[in-house]
Every structure is written in C-alpha cells, then in structure tokens.
Structure 1
Amino acid sequence: MQLSGCNRSQSKTGAAKVKEKKPLPPFEPLRVFVEPNERSSFNPGPKDSARIVNVLKPGHWSGILLQTQANTKEFTGTLSSAPQNAQRRPLELEQSPYWVSTMRRVTLPKGQQKQFESLFFAPRPRPESTTKASTWIANRLSGSGQGLQAQPEPVLHMPSYQYHMVVLAPQPARYRYLNGLSCVRPRTNAALISPLDRAYYRVEFPPVDAPLALPSHPLCWTSIAYIVWDDVLPDALTPEQQQAMVDWLHWGGALIVSGPDSLDKLAGSFLADYLPAKVGSSGPLQADKLAELHDAWRVRGDGSESLAAREGRTWSGVELVKHTEATAVPNTAELIVERRIGRGRVLVTAFRLAEPELAGWRSFDSMFNACILGRPPRLHAEIGDRFAYRGSREHDAFDARLSSGVRFFSRDVPDANVKSRNEITDALDDASAMRFQGVTDLEFQTQIAESKLIDELKANAGVAGWNDFSPVASAARATLRDAAGISVPKRSFVLKMIGLYLIVVVPVNWLVFRLLGRIEWAWCWAGSNGPGWPCPSSHWCGVWSSCGPRSSTSDSPAPRPRSRCWRCSPAIRADT
C-alpha cells in the first residue's frame, strides 16, 4: 500500500530538481578601464568587489580597455565610443558643433570573454558647462543583427597640473611610500580639498604578472609623466607598448630605473640603446658615498642618523659605468646617473629606490623632488604645509609645466594673450576675499580659493594636451587662408551690393525700357541677364579664384575660366 504523503514528498522533490534556467542576455555588461590603470580585467567568476578607478585628463587622447562576452552566438561588428555630458548628450568639441566618436571592428566568440583596446578623446568642457569634473563614456556594439547600448560610464577629470606616475615592480607594495612624499602628494589639512585632487601625481601600481593596462598608441601617453622601472622583464610590455614608450621618451617622458638588478634585465632590450650606464662591479655601497648623499640633501631640522650609519645593514648596489652622453646628477656621489633622450630623460640609480631606509629618511622627499623628478627647489613655510618655489614667481603650486616634461611644439607654444597661472590665482584670491568678507580666518579663505581653482583646473588640459587654438595652429590656419587668396567681405559690403543689384534689376531696368516704349522687354532682360549679371564686387572682394595655373608657358594649356563670386552673385553658378 502506498501512502499519499510519500507522493507529495516525491512530487515536491522532483519540482525542486527541475528548475527553469533564466535566459542569458546577449552580452555581458561592458567593463571599461581607462589606461593607465592598476586593473586590466574583471573576473566575473568569483565575487570581484575591487573598485575600478577611472580617471582621465580632458583635452588628451586616452586608451580604454573594454571587456565583454557574447552569450547567445558569435558576434562580429563594430565597437564605438563617444564622450557625453552629465545629461547624456554628446560632448561637442571646443568651439565646434561636432563631436568625436571612435570606432573599431570586434569579433566575440560565443561564451568567451574578450577584451579590446580603443582610443577615446574627452574634449575640454566649455566655459558655460555646469559639469567640469567628469566625462561619461558611451559605448555601443552594433552588427550581426544584434547590438548592445551600454550604460555610460562616468570618468573623473584630473586637474591640469596632475599626471600619472606608473610603477612597474614585482613587489609594488614596497613603493607605496611614494604617496606619502610631499613632492608627489602635498600635505594639506584643508577639509574642502580632496588629497587626491591636490596631488601632483596619481601613482599607479599595475601587477606585472598580468597584461598591463598601458596604452599601445603613443598618442595616449601624454597624461603619463614618469615610469618607475624596478626588476621587471621587458616582455611585460607588448611590442606596441614598447614602441609607444620609446616615442614618449623622445617627446619628454622620464624613465626612472631602480638598480641594481634592472640594468642587467634591460640589457639587450628595446631600452638598451637609451640607458645612461652599464653595470660595473657589484657589491655593498661604500659608506662614504652614502654619507655624502645624506649630507648633501639633508633639510633643516632633520636629525636622523646618516644612511651609512645603520649597524648590521648594508646597501646592495652596483658601480655605474656611464655612457658617453650621460652625466652624474650633482650632489649624489655619482650614485645617480641620467641621460637625455630627445626632450625626455632616462635616470638610473646605483641602489634600489625601495630600500626601507630611504622611505624612513626624513630628507628623502627633498632628494626625490630635485634629483629624481627634476622639479625646482622649494622653500617651505615655518608653520603649516605651504611652500613656494625659489628664485621667481614664474611658477606656482598649480603650474602643469612642473609636473610633466612632455611637450609638443604645435600644442605648447606659450600664448602671450593668456594670463599666467599666478594672475589667475591672484584673481581668485581677490574674488574669494570679497565674497566671503564675513570670514575672518585667512586660512579658510585660502582653502575656498584653492578649492574653486582646482574645480576650474579640472576643465583644462595642462601641457601636451590637444589644442586647436594654440599660436601655431592659429598661424597655420591664417597661412592657409592667405595662400587660398580668399577673403570674406564684410556684411555691410554684401548688403550694399545686393541693394545695388536690386536697384539695377527693378527700377533702372523698368525706366530704360519704359523710355524705349518696350516695357515687356524688361522681363526678358531681367530673366536672361540676372543669373549671369557680373558681380561688380568680385574684384573688390578678392574672391576670384582661378581653376587653372597662375602662370603658363607656351607648352602649358590655357587656363580655365574663373569661377564667379558665389557670395555676392544672385545665383550660385560655376563656369567650367
């Protein structure tokens, strides 16, 4: 005998086993990584809760990595990326009604996660824009009868004076101390300013055992100021990334090679021809050289013991055999050697920059600022975290020219009509003081002015940014206009010529044929001569253009007839 209760139990168990699978979407969500980045992929298997930090510099080309997967069938089509504002509208180019959208062909095999690199350009926000601190990346897959309109991804802007510093090391945690140096991230107690916004450099620590999120095109390296290379094989970079780095060096990038093991690994690599030194003898560094380095860069108030006085601790290093074009950095006991490569430079240290003693040395910030980064000397205030650059007021703390050495002649020629950064800072200080007259705390007034200035600088490109209105670009456009021989007449002149034409066609025409007694002929004359009426302003406007050569010889064909002035003629016609 079978009990009915058992039937219910079995039916419930069977229903639990048979579960309907939810249909998969055609594509997995698009993941966006703006290069350079500490991350280059997203693992959808285990819970990947690590945050993806995306920042870029407006007015610069950037490389972006896009990761997705086709679930239902193989996909072949195009991937397009375009900038948008906070209202999800296309972000137009500066002083132009057009916007830039980059496209590339992609192929997604079914069920396989794929990653693609593309170019992206974020134009500088317009002065009247209400959102100057971010740009939205809109990505779209289209083709093969299906597509994906991804949700736009917001990307924060870096201020004009802020650039990337990328650390390539097998143990990147040993270089975390760089974020504590005031020459990298100035110390501030301002509650209104984010420490990341105030930093001169965003230090990136990409893992070298995974594909590096570095741009493959040199056009996208303008936001990188320094590369720190420590004991990494050159094969960590793809051939395209290697060539992009070489181009970046010639345009002003700075490569910092941390010895002593890095030089041996770079010998015979794509950087071998640019290294400032070769490895000589290896062994512990001499105590007198470490003492000389310590004494030369010790700042006032630094009572720490000499770098060579640590008992039971020796520094491993190498002897640097300088290249004929290389020079030793002054006051470093020839432990640091650099070589100019075009506008850029390659710097090598005889010791490892990740030594714990360096991170704990109070004066290391001074040496790193002047010797490694090549920034001007600073004069710190007695109280607080303020400082000024010695020598002149030409530079201030927000000057992008001090953060990066990358330059392009067509983009970075100074414009005499543009205010210097100090004049802008002074104007903001005055406006802040006037607006907040009820605030008596001078420090708080300064924080308000700096916060406002940083927000404005997030809309600027800094140095090496794309600039269609630089003095060189403006001169090139003027030269092309002069060479074309075309000058646009003034509006008043055009109106006068149109009025003169109407007077000739209507009242004068009617009066002439009225006197002849043939008024009906006036219509025939106006109809036949109107379109071909020789514009009297053509010569005055200077817009006659020849369709043939300006000069000819006996063997040359006769010049073709000239086209008429279409701006002043009543009908647009070209006589050919």
Structure 2
Amino acid sequence: MQRSVLFVLAFVLVPLIVGCDGCRQQADKEKPEDENAPRAAYTPGPTLAFPADRNTAFSAAKPGHWITASQAIRSNKDDVRGELRSIASMRITDEGFKQIAELKSDISSRPATLVKGQMRDFDFRLRVPTPMSVSQSKMNLSSQLVPRNGGLFDTGQQPINLMRSTEFFFVVLTTRPERFAKWQTADWVRPVRNEFADKSQPNYRIVFPATDGVLPLPETMLDLTSTAVVVWDDLSEDALTPLQQTALIDWVHFGGRLIVNGPSASEAVAKTKLQSLLALKPSGNVEMDHDGAEEMLRGWAVKSDRSIDKQVELMRSESSRIAIDGQMQRDAQALPDTGSLILQRRVGRGHVVQPRIDLTEAWIDTWDSYQSFINGLILRRPARTYAASKDTGIEGTFQDFSQTTDEDETPFTGLVQTFEGTDLESDAAANSQFRLTSRDAALRGADATYGGKMTSPYDRFTRVDPLTGISGWKDNSDTIQLFRDTLSKEAGIEIPGSKMVIRSLAIYLAILVPLNYLFFRIIGRLEYAWLAVPVIAVGGAIWAARQAQLDIGFARSNTELALLETHQGYNRGHVSRLIAVYNSLSSRYNVQFKTVDGAAATLEGEPNSDGFLPTAFQTSYDEGPSLSNFAVPSNRLRFLHAEQILDLGGEFTWSGGKITNDTDHELLDAVVVSKNESGELLAALVGQIEPGEQVNVNLRSMATPEIPSALPMNMSQLIRQFASSEAIPSGSTRLVGRIDGDLPGMEIAPSASQHAVQTLVLVHLQHADLPEPARDANLATEFVRVRRSVD
C-alpha cells in the first residue's frame, strides 16, 4: 500500500517539479537583463560563404575561386567604428594528422560600423586558397574586428566545407524548398554508388538561400564562378539587388544556366533587369495544353518506363492546370518533344530554360522518368546508363524490376551511374557550362597537358584542374602562361657581370682623370678640366645603363598584357590582366578598381618579403575594391594578376556577314575565324574597326589565318594562337584583334614613368551548339536487391 502511495506521489509531483523548473528557466529568459552584470563587449553571429544555404551548417566554398562571405557581429556596450579583417586558412597535416603547415588567403579588409545592441552582417570578398591535394575537405574562415579606439575582437574560426573539382553550386531561389525535395536527393546531384564505394564525385551542391532580407548571393560575376545553375522559382521581382541582377546577367552570358520555373517566376523576372534574358515575354496565364503535356511525358520517357499511362491519367484528371502565355523571342525555341511547354534561349555562352509550367507539380515529379528528364533536357547533361556494381559486398542477386517474385525485395543501392557510352561518373565540364577563356581555354593542343591540367573528355577545348575544376582563378592557365612568357621577355632585366662592371669602371676613370687632364692641358685650358667632370659623370651613367640593358627604366615601369573577352550583342566584357611591375627601389603599390567588379592578387608562391605589410584586399572603402601593400623589392620584377568586368559602352554585333563595332574602343589587326561542323577553318582579315564602324567580312577557307607580323609585344603570335583551328570548337565563330593600350577601370599607384600595354580582344560571335538533349538508357528502379528468406 505504501509503495502504491509513493508511486502515485512520484507520478504527480515529478512533472510538477520539472514543470516549475521549466517555468523558472523561461522566466529567467524573459526577465530584463541586469545592466550591471558583466558581459562581453561583442557577440559574434554566423559566418557564411555565399551562396549561403538557410542551413548555416551547409556552408561551402570551391578551392581556387573568389567568394563573397559575411560575418555577423553585435556590439553590446558602445557604438563602434573600426575595421573587419578576414582570412581563409587550411591546415596541412601529415599522415599522423599533425599540422605541418597552413595555407592562408590574402587578408580581406573592410570598414565596420556597429550600433549598440544591433546584430550586423558585414560582407567581404576573398580568394579561397588552393589545397595541396583532393583529400583536403575543410577550410576555416575567421575575422577580427579592430576598433578605432583600440582593442581587438576575434570571432573565432568557422569551418567551411571544400567542394570537389566536379562539384558546383545549384542555387534554388524559392520560399518553398519542400517542393524541391526530389531534386535534393536526385541521382544527378550525386552519382549513384553502393554504400561501400567512394562517394567523392559529386555533381551539385543544392543551396536554398534564406529569402527574408537581402539574399546571400554575390554582387559580382567574379564570385559566381563556382555556380553552375540558378533556379528562379517563386520569388518576387524585388528579391535581388540591382548589383545581384547584373551579376546574374553577366554570369548567364559566360555560360550560366538560368531556369525560370513556371508562371509566377516568369512574371516576376519580367519585371527585373533579367527580363532581357527571357525566351518568352509573359502576357498572362492560360490553361495548360494537355495534349502538349502528354507529348512531353511520352516523348521524354525512358524506354523501360512503365508509369506513362498512369502519369497521363493523373495529368488529365484536373483541367485547371495553368501555363504562362506570351510572345516568344525570335532567337528562342521550344525544346524537342515537349509540346512547346519547355522553352530555351541561348544568351552568349549560357542558356535560359523557361518552363511554361511548374516543374514541381505532382503530375510530373512522380513520373518514373522525371530524373532523366531533368538531367537530359533541363540541365542538358549527357544521358546516363545504370549498371549493377560488381564489387558491392552485398549478398543477393540482381534482376530486372519487371521480374517480380514473392520474396523480400528492396531497391538495390549497389548501382553505378555513368555517362552513356563512357566510364565517366562525373565531369566538371558536363556539370557546368560556365567558362572564362583566360582561365579555362586549352591553347596548347586539345589532347595535350600543360601545367598538370587535363582537357575534359566532354569538352576537349577546356582544361579541368584536379583541385579547382573549371573557372578557378589560375596563375598557370594556358593564357596566363602565354602572357607571362611574353612579359618576361619584354620586361626582362639582364644583371651585368663582374667583368663588365670592372671594365666600365676602368674606362670611366680613364676618361675622367688622365684623358680629361691631357685634353685640356693640350688646348691650354687646364682650369676647365673641373667643369668637364659633371658632364663626363652623366655621360658615363647613361653609357653604363645602356651597357647593362636596364631597358625598363631606373625608377618604375609597368608592362601589361590583357585579354578582353565578350559576346556578340553584349555591352560588358571580362578583362584579365597580367602586369609586370619593376622599380629600382623597394616600393609598395595599391591597385584601385572603379567598380565592384574587380579582383587582384599576387601570383601564388610569391609572398611579400623584405618586412613589408601583408597584402590586403579591401572592399567598401571606395567605389570599388582595391589591393594594398603589393610589395616590389629593389631591382625586382613581380607579376600582378587582376580581373574585372567592364562596361564597353556598346557591343559588337555579327549579322549578315557584317561586323559592327558600337563599343568605345578601336580594334586593330582584327581577324574573323569560323569553323564549320566538318572542321574546315574559314577566315578573313578585317584589320581596323573604329567605334561606330560596320565592315563587311568575306570568309574563305584557309589552313592558317593571315595575321600581320611584327606587332608590338608579341601580339602577332597571341592573335594567331587564339585564332588557330586547334583553339576553336566546330560550329563557332570569333573575332580576334587588339587594342593598342590599356582599358579603363583600374589604376596602380604610384604610377610608372614607363607603361607599355597591349590588350588582346576575343569576341564570341557564335558559340557551338550543345549536344542534342538525350534521355537516359535505363532506369535505376529496374534493379532490385533480392534477399532470400531463411526458413
């Protein structure tokens, strides 16, 4: 009896005690903060790398690429003005996981103003270091707040996942991420492998940015190079800032794939600057064409798909399904076998895919061929084949899904997914079509290797780096290597040997003393010998400099080669500069950009020396970013790598065999080259094209384009390299020429007394078509794992 009473009391009192304790904890949270209680001066918030997922633990970055990131901080005591310094670092360990080195980025610096009690996000930009091996999976982002009135606050290190070379961001702009659940688990995101196999070949990292407030996306294309696909789903037209919209437009022109999903997305995008990219200008909604939808379901079904009739019945079961209606652009097209429900438009190198329907509706995303449809048509990746893995370590047998039995069957996970007709499970060049010629072009022969980089099996005109993949910031790309070889010769320094110094000194002293004395003694004017000394000294110095071949000057000299890449019909271009900087005395340089679309760094492996301050990349101080403390020691030649996006004042257009130059720049020694589908090279020397001028182009067959010889700074060879048949894909046309001088938008201080610059111009007049879209060879669901029941 006593035990029963105690049990009842315990059953009643324990919840009451726990509940009271919970109430007390809640009351403690709700009571006002005691201002006299000690507290920290600052509270750090999350550190995010853009594009940032709403799940902050998902933050990732691609090695060797520039990124935008943010650090949140709250000041708890006072208003604060100061500087935020951020850095990315990687620990290098030995086999025993003992740290033996650390890779660090340049410091990223920006002003920081805090209002007491408010959590503020501070964006900054930096280049992610390139690790020494693919096994590196993490880096750390850390920041320090340096107030003007002294002190230092360290936010701590935030681990960031490192992406593999084949992996790219897949950004979905939506307020309903649950509708894209099947995309997150799709086999085109990460190749199908059994649970015992290496899963190191991912394709995409799907990101759902938080939509409350400013979206955590970069505001320059230079920080979007690790993004392959952007899906605009149901966001409003004011979701992106004007700079983010411009960055996306630039990104599409250089190969990004923008998917505008359905009626609401089309109507929102049509009210932004991105409306110029749309395949269809919307005018309203109409009832979806059921016959067209059935054509798409049957036309894009994998051969063994048995769900077609069920999906058609589901689709026709409701008559109120809507689609967007409007006027198609002249250069847009309906994708094959889609009943005109899926539209596409080529924009520069990139593509805008505009489904007139919502791709997440149940009648389509429950379709067995749905993953094949997204992979082959929407993403335009190669068709895939599924096969049973031979070394799974799993007992059981494989059989076709149609051969059902009464035994226990579960979907088999021991599959290998490869591109049809190959043994490739993943390829960076198939996952992303984004390209920058200065970073990615294979100029030394399509099948050769250069600097340890291999051409892609999917795109043999593109180099794929095993660590940075495609479009990473590279100091050893084919283009930069060509520029560096040329600049090393143009701005070379020959240090005189000891024999030359002794000989020159002997000649100088002989002229200064005995010959000078004898000359004036003979003419009877010995008192003038002293007046001749300064003249002899200056003449001797000039002669010594000439003998030493210091052909870039005593004080400062900048020698620059740049590549301007743009696309026909677009008024903005990407500029890559390699600058050889020399000065006779130690000096520090600052590089200032005029717009936000700029980035600069020293070459990897060339840290600052001689006690100089570390190089810092600064943002938000002026109208554009800057690189400070670029140190050049005495009598040294150092290289500076800089890139930016420039407004050209107009565009180059190609129509009816005519080139029109509506930019602000005069083009010299221009040549148009085209390569047809049979591999024949057609070319025409155009020569000079002034701003506002239109010229006729008469292409004719030739093995090698006629390029003017003896152009300054090896430009004849550089133009020939970019206009050669080995550098041009079949089905493409390009304009190659030069600008005699540099482009605006970047300044180096202190300025140089000698400044030699040539800008190579590459205009893509027509890009090669992508391979025709294709459906997968079979379905993953055709395979089952059969476990025999044991009696």
Is the structural similarity TM-score above 0.5?
Answer: yes
Quick check: 1:483 aligned with 2:490? yes
Contact 2:201 2:426 in 1 (8 A): no
8 A Cα contact 1:125 1:459, kept in partner: no
User: How far has the Cα of 1:115 moved from its partner?
Assistant: 1.0
Q: Which amino acid aligns with 1:54?
A: S
Q: CA deviation at 1:118?
A: 0.8
Which of residues 13, 29, 32 in structure 1 aligns to 2:47? 32
- Partner SS for 1:202: strand
Provide the rounded CA distance (Å) in 2 between the counterparts of 1:295 and 1:421: 39
Offset at residue 185 of structure 1 (A): 2.5
Classify 1:376/1:121 alpha carbon distance in 2 versus 1 (closer, same or farther; 3 Å).
same
Say if 2:167 is the partner of 1:155.
no
Matches within 5 A, 1:485-504: 486=492, 488=494, 497-498=497-498
DSSP-derived class of the 2:132 partner: coil
Shift of 1:205: 1.6
1:515-559 residue CA offsets vs partner (Å, 9 max, x unmatched): xxxxxxxxxxxxxxxxx99999998985555679xxxxxxxxxxx
**Within 5 A, what are the aligned runs for 1:88-107?**
91-92=103-104, 99-107=105-113
CA-to-partner distance for each residue in 1:75-95, whole Å, 9 max, x for gaps?
Answer: 111111112222597625xxx
The alignment status of 1:218 with 2:217, answered yes or no, reads: no
**Please, which runs of 5 or more residues in structure 2 have no aligned partner?**
1-27, 92-98, 390-413, 458-463, 507-538, 556-582, 585-634, 636-791
| Structure 1 partner of 2:278 | 275
C-alpha displacement of 1:138: 2.3
Show the counterpart of 1:201.
204
Does the 8 Å contact 2:286/2:324 carry over to 1? Answer: yes
Question: Alignment partner of 1:474: what SS?
Answer: helix
Change beyond 3 A, Cα 1:364–1:540 = farther
C-alpha distance in 1 between matches for 2:553 and 2:100: 47
**CA drift at 1:487:** 5.2
For 2:265, the equivalent position in structure 1 comes to 262
CA distance in 2, matches of 1:153, 1:459: 25
- Aligned counterparts of 2:188 and 2:128: Cα–Cα separation in 1: 28
Alpha carbons of structure 1 residues 278 and 54: separation in structure 2 relative to 1, 3 Å: same
Equivalent position SS for 1:352:
coil
SS at match of 1:327: strand
The alpha carbon displacement at 1:122 in A equals 1.1
**Structure 2 CA distance for partners of 1:474 and 1:540, relative to 1, 3 Å:** farther
Q: Deviation digits for residues 422-443 of structure 1, max 9, x if unmatched?
A: 999xxxxxxxxxxxxxxxxxxx
Pick aligned residue for 1:385 from 399, 412, 415: 415
Find the residue that maps to 2:487 and give its secondary structure.
helix
The correspondence of residues 244-263 of structure 1 with structure 2, limited to 5 A, is: 244-263=247-266
Aligned to 1:396: 424
CA distance in 2 between counterparts of 1:27 and 1:458 reads: 41
The answer for the alignment partner of 1:227 in structure 2 is 230
SS class of match (2:363): helix
Change (3 A) 1:199 1:481: closer
Q: Alpha carbons of 1:227 and 1:504: their partners in 2 closer, same or farther (altered >3 Å)? A: closer
Who is 1:429 aligned against? none
Deviation (angstroms), 1:131: 6.6
The amino acid of 2:69's aligned partner reads I
State how far apart, in whole Å, the 2-side matches of 1:480 and 1:378 are.
46
2:440 touches 2:477 (CA, 8 Å); kept in 1?
yes
**Distance in 1 separating the partners of 2:504 and 2:153:** 62
AA partner of residue 368 (structure 2):
R
184-193 vs 171-180, which deviates more?
184-193
The corresponding residue for 1:363 is: 369
TM-score by length of 2: 0.52
Match of 1:343 among 340, 349, 367: 349
Count the aligned residue pairs. Answer: 456
Q: Amino acid of the residue matched to residue 116 of structure 2? A: K
Residue 348 of structure 1 and its aligned partner are, at CA, apart by 0.6
Alignment of 1:158-173 (within 5 A): 158-173=163-178
Larger fraction in strand: 2
TM superposition shift of 1:385 = 2.3
The secondary structure found in structure 1 opposite 2:373 is helix
Q: Would you say 1:417 and 2:429 are equivalent positions?
A: no
CA contact (8 A) 2:191 2:425 kept: no
TM-score, structure 1 as length reference: 0.70
| Shift of residue 410, structure 1, vs aligned partner | 0.5
Q: Residues 297 and 421 of structure 1: is their aligned pair in 2 closer, same or farther, counting only changes over 3 Å? A: farther
1:398 touches 1:421 (CA, 8 Å); kept in 2?
no
Aligned mates of 1:149, 1:546 — CA distance in 2: 45
| The one of 305, 322, 330 aligned to 1:302 | 305
Deviation at 1:199, TM superposition (A): 2.9
- 1:466-477 superposed matches below 5 A: 466-477=473-484
The corresponding residue for 2:6 is none
**Mapping of residues 278-289 of structure 1, within 5 Å:** 278-279=281-282, 282-289=285-292
CA–CA distance in structure 2, aligned partners of residues 67 and 399 of structure 1: 36
Aligned equivalents of 1:20 and 1:77: distance in 2? Answer: 25
Aligned equivalents of 1:320 and 1:378: distance in 2? 34
- Contact 1:318/1:351 (<8 A) preserved: yes
Q: Choose between structure 1 and 2: higher helix proportion.
A: 1
**Relative to structure 1, is the Cα distance of residues 500 and 241 closer, same or farther in structure 2, using a 3 angstrom cutoff?**
closer
CA distance in 1, matches of 2:287, 2:35: 68
Contact in 2 for aligned 1:70/1:108 (Cα 8 Å): yes
- 1:180 alignment counterpart: 185
Amino acid of the structure 2 residue aligned with 1:386 = V
SS of residue matched to 1:243: helix
Superposed CA offset, 1:58-91 (max 9, x none): 1011111110111121111111111222259762
C-alpha displacement of 1:177: 0.9
Q: Distance in 2 between matches of 1:23 and 1:115?
A: 25
Q: Which of 169, 182, 190 is equivalent to 2:195? A: 190
1:365 CA displacement: 1.1
What does 1:41-52 correspond to in 2, within 5 Å? Answer: 52=57
CA distance in 2, matches of 1:423, 1:332: 30
Which of the numbers 60, 64, 67 marks the counterpart of 2:69?
A: 64
Moved more, 538-547 or 160-169: 538-547
- Give 1:186 deviation, angstroms: 2.1
Q: What secondary structure is seen at the aligned counterpart in 2 of 1:354?
A: coil
1:316, CA displacement in angstroms? 2.4
CA separation of 1:22/1:296 partners in 2, compared to 1, >3 Å: closer, same or farther?
A: same
Query: What is the aligned-residue RMSD (CA, Å)?
Result: 3.8
Structure 1 segments unaligned to the other structure (5+ residues): 1-15, 40-49, 93-98, 425-456, 507-531, 549-562, 565-571
Kept after mapping to 2: 8 A contact 1:157/1:459: no
2:470 maps to 1:463:
yes
